[in-house]
Structure 1
Amino acid sequence: MIRMPGRSHRGPLPSLDREQVTLRDLLKEYVDLLAVEIGGRSLDADQEGLAEAAKALEMELSRAGYNVDPQVFEVRGQPCANLIVEIPGRRKPDEIVIVGAHYDSCGDLPAANDNASGVAATLALARSFAGRGSPAGRSLRFVLFVNEEPPFFQTDAMGSRVYARRCRERGEQVVAMLSLETIGYYSDEPGSQKYPFPLSAFYPSRGNFIGFVGNVASRGLVRRVVGSFRRHANFPSEGAALPSRLPGVGWSDHWAFWQEGYPALMVTDTAPFRDPHYHTPEDMPETLDFDRMARVVAGLDRVITDLVSDPVD
C-alpha cells in the first residue's frame, strides 16, 4: 500500500522548458482570477463570489472549445452548479476518466492554494486536451465541483457527492478519478512536512514533493498513476493507498467517488500537513511556487494521457 513503482526524482530540478514556462504563467493567471479578482466564493459565506466564480470558469472552459454541461442543484434554496466537460473516447467511450477540483473557498477567504491551485490545473489540463481530438481509448471528463468546503464537506450537499451519485445512478463506468487538491505549496526546509501518525516513519520530512493518495480499494489506480508520473516527470513524488479513516486521506472530492465504489485518488501537496496558510487569509498567490506547479501539471498531462489510452488496473 505504500511501496510504489518507479523512483521519486532526487537532486536539483531541471530548468523549465518553453512549454512549462507558458504553463506556469497560465496557472498563475487562473489562480489570480479566483483568489484576487474574485476572492471569497462560498455558498455559506459569499454567494455572490461563488456565482461569479462559476460564471468565470464556465467562460474559460467555453473559450477552450468545450460545450459546458452545468449540473445545477439547490442547497438551502440557493442554486449552485458543478461544471462538466467531456471528450468522448473512440475505442472505449463508456469507460470514463474524470479529473476534477473544487472551486469554492472555505468561508470568505482568497483560497489560492485551497483550491484555486487545483482549479487552475484542471483548467490548464482541459485546455491542453481540447485541441487533441477524441482520445483513442477512454472518454475524458473535466469537472469543477462546488461545495467541497465546510459546512458542506462530506454531506449530501457536497458537489462531488451529488455528481458521483448521479454517475452511479446512470450506471456510468468511471474507471479513474483524480481530485486535484491544493497542489501549489512546496518547501525544501527540513521538518516542513508533517503527517498523521504513523506515516512520518515512511515519508520525507521536506515538503518538496507531490503526493498521490487513495484508499485501499484504489491501490491499483494509485500505483498506476504514481508509476506513470515517475516515468514522465522529473519531480519528487510520493504515493500511498491507505485506510480511509486516517486523517487527511479522504479530505477532498475523491471521497465522494469512494462512496459509490469508484476508484479515485487525490493529487495534493498535503494541505494542512505542509502549508501554514491553509484556511487563513494569507492563502494568497504569492505563497505558491508556480514553477513547481507547472512541473506537476505537465507530469499530470502525461499521466492522464496514459489513463485514457491504456488499461487501468
Structure 2
Amino acid sequence: MIRMRAVQTVIPVTIILVLILGGVWFIMLRMPGKRYQGPMPSLTEEQRLLREMLRKDVYKLADEIGDRNVRTNYENLCAAADFIEASLQQTGYKVDRQGYEVSLSGLQGRTCYNLEVEITGSERSGEIVVIGGHYDSLEDTPGANDNASGTAAVLALARAFAGKQTVRTLRFVTFVNEEPPYFQSKDMGSWVYVKRCRQRNENIIGMLSLETIGYYSDEKWSQNYPVAPLGLVYPTAGNFVAFVGNIKSRKLVRDVVGLFRRYAEFPSEAAALPEMLVGVGWSDQWAFWQGGYPGVMVTDTAPFRYPYYHTQEDTPDKIDYDQLAYVVSALEKVVAGLAGCKHETSRVNR
C-alpha cells in the first residue's frame, strides 16, 4: 500500500516536471534552423576587406583613442564620438547627435552623445529596425572587445547599407554611457534614446545590440554560463555567436537566429530568457525592453568566455578579426531580412 501511494505521488510529479521542462524548451530554447558544426569557410575577398576595415576601426577606438569614459577621460569619449560621426558622414549619411548631460555629481557641463543615422523605409516607414552598440568603455580600460568590436560592426553595417532602399526604416545608432556607473540608469545613453523614441510614439519592431562580439575559442570548457543547467544544453567551447533576448522578444530572437543560420556557416546559439537572469540584460537591448520594444543582444557572451573582460588587457590584439568579419558579413543578411532590403547584395557565401 505504501509503495502504491509512493508510485501514485511520483507519477504526477514526474508529469509536471516534464511539462515544465517541455514548456521551457518550447518558449525559451526552441530555435529555427540547424546549429552549424564544422570549420569556418575561407573568407571571400570582400570579407577580407571587411576584416581590415574592422581591425582599423577597433584599433582607432581602443588603441589610438583608448579609455572612452565620461568620468575618467571625457576628451577621449568626445574624440570617439567625433570619429564615429566623421566615419558615417564619409559614407554619405547625415548624422543626428542626441546630446545630454550626465547627472552624476561633479560632471555637470559634460555633454555626451548618442549618434544616429537613418534610412527611411520606402513602404513601411513607420516600422523601425535599430542596429546599435555602445562606444564608451569601462573607466581606465581600452575596451577593444567591449565594445569597440560592436561599434566597428555597427559602422561596417551602416556602410554596407548606404545608398540602399529598405522597406522598413533602418537606423544605425552608437550609444554612450552603457558602462557602470551609468548602466541601467537614466544616464545610460540607450535609456535616453528610448525615452525620446517613446515621446515620439515611434514603432520600433526590433533592436539588435552588438555587444562584445570579437572573441572565439574552440577549446573545451572555454565557455561558461550564468546558471549551470544551461551548460547541459549549450556547448562547452566558446566558438559561437549568441543571440539573447528576454521572453517578450522571443519572436525576434527566433527571426534573427533563423536568418543567421540560413546564410552563415558559423556556429550560433540563441535563447529567450527571463531578463532577471544574470547577463541577459547586460547591454543596450535592456533599455529597449524597458520601453516595451523587442530587442536582442548579439554577443560572444563577454565575461562568460572572454578572460580580459573589463580589464586593461582588453586590447585590440585579443580579437579574432577573421571570425569577427564573418559574423558581421552574416549579420548584413540578417539586417537585410529584418529591414526588407529591396536590392540585396549578399556578401555572404558568394
- Residue of structure 2 in register with 1:157 after alignment: 187
- Residue of structure 1 in register with 2:240 after alignment: 209
- Residue of structure 2 in register with 1:283 after alignment: 314
* % identical aligned pairs: 58
Q: Deviations along 1:220-242, whole A, 9 cap, x unmatched?
A: 00000000000011100000000
Structure 1 CA distance for aligned equivalents of residues 291 and 46 of structure 2: 37
Q: TM-score, structure 2 length as denominator? A: 0.87
1:178 deviates by 0.2
Structure 1 CA distance for aligned equivalents of residues 236 and 140 of structure 2: 32
Structure 1 CA distance for aligned equivalents of residues 38 and 339 of structure 2: 31
SS in 1 for 2:29: coil
SS in 2 for 1:115: helix
Q: Deviations along 1:132-167, whole A, 9 cap, x unmatched?
A: 2x21x1000000000000010000000000001110
Q: Does the CA-based 8 Å contact 1:98-1:174 persist in structure 2? A: yes
Q: Does the CA-based 8 Å contact 1:148-1:160 persist in structure 2? A: yes
Structure 1 CA distance for aligned equivalents of residues 278 and 205 of structure 2: 25
Q: Does the CA-based 8 Å contact 1:44-1:151 persist in structure 2? A: no
Corresponding position: 1:268 with 2:294: no
Q: How does 1:1-313 map to 2 (within 5 A)?
A: 1-75=28-102, 76-77=107-108, 78-132=110-164, 134-135=165-166, 137-197=167-227, 198-309=229-340
Structure 2 CA distance for aligned equivalents of residues 273 and 212 of structure 1: 14
Structure 1 CA distance for aligned equivalents of residues 39 and 242 of structure 2: 19
Query: Would you identify which runs of 4 or more consecutive aligned residues in structure 1 move more than 4 Å?
Result: none
SS in 2 for 1:249: coil
Q: Deviations along 1:236-274, whole A, 9 cap, x unmatched?
A: 000000000110000000000000100001000000000
1:131 deviates by 2.9
Structure 2 CA distance for aligned equivalents of residues 267 and 4 of structure 1: 15
Q: Deviations along 1:60-105, whole A, 9 cap, x unmatched?
A: 0101110000000111321010000000010100100000000000
1:126 deviates by 0.2
1:303 deviates by 0.3
Q: TM-score, structure 1 length as denominator? A: 0.97
Who wins on radius of gyration, i.e. which is larger?
A: 2
Structure 1 CA distance for aligned equivalents of residues 260 and 75 of structure 2: 38
Structure 1 CA distance for aligned equivalents of residues 74 and 301 of structure 2: 27
Structure 2 CA distance for aligned equivalents of residues 191 and 142 of structure 1: 35
Amino acid at match of 1:124: A
Structure 1 CA distance for aligned equivalents of residues 272 and 93 of structure 2: 33
- Over the residues paired in the alignment, what is the CA RMSD in angstroms? 0.8
Could you tell me which runs of 5 or more consecutive residues in structure 2 were left unpaired when the two chains were aligned: 1-27, 342-350
Structure 2 CA distance for aligned equivalents of residues 46 and 303 of structure 1: 35
Q: Deviations along 1:256-313, whole A, 9 cap, x unmatched?
A: 0000100001000000000000011111111110000011001100000000118xxx
Q: Does the CA-based 8 Å contact 1:102-1:119 persist in structure 2? A: yes
Structure 2 CA distance for aligned equivalents of residues 199 and 248 of structure 1: 13
Structure 1 CA distance for aligned equivalents of residues 34 and 198 of structure 2: 35
Could you tell me which runs of 5 or more consecutive residues in structure 1 were left unpaired when the two chains were aligned: none
Amino acid at match of 1:100: G
Structure 2 CA distance for aligned equivalents of residues 201 and 260 of structure 1: 33
SS in 2 for 1:53: helix
Structure 2 CA distance for aligned equivalents of residues 65 and 9 of structure 1: 36
1:208 deviates by 0.2
Structure 2 CA distance for aligned equivalents of residues 49 and 38 of structure 1: 6
Structure 1 CA distance for aligned equivalents of residues 232 and 196 of structure 2: 40
Structure 1 CA distance for aligned equivalents of residues 124 and 163 of structure 2: 20
SS in 2 for 1:143: strand
| Number of corresponding residues | 308
Please, which moves more after superposition, 191-200 or 205-214?
A: 191-200
Structure 2 CA distance for aligned equivalents of residues 122 and 101 of structure 1: 7
SS in 2 for 1:30: helix
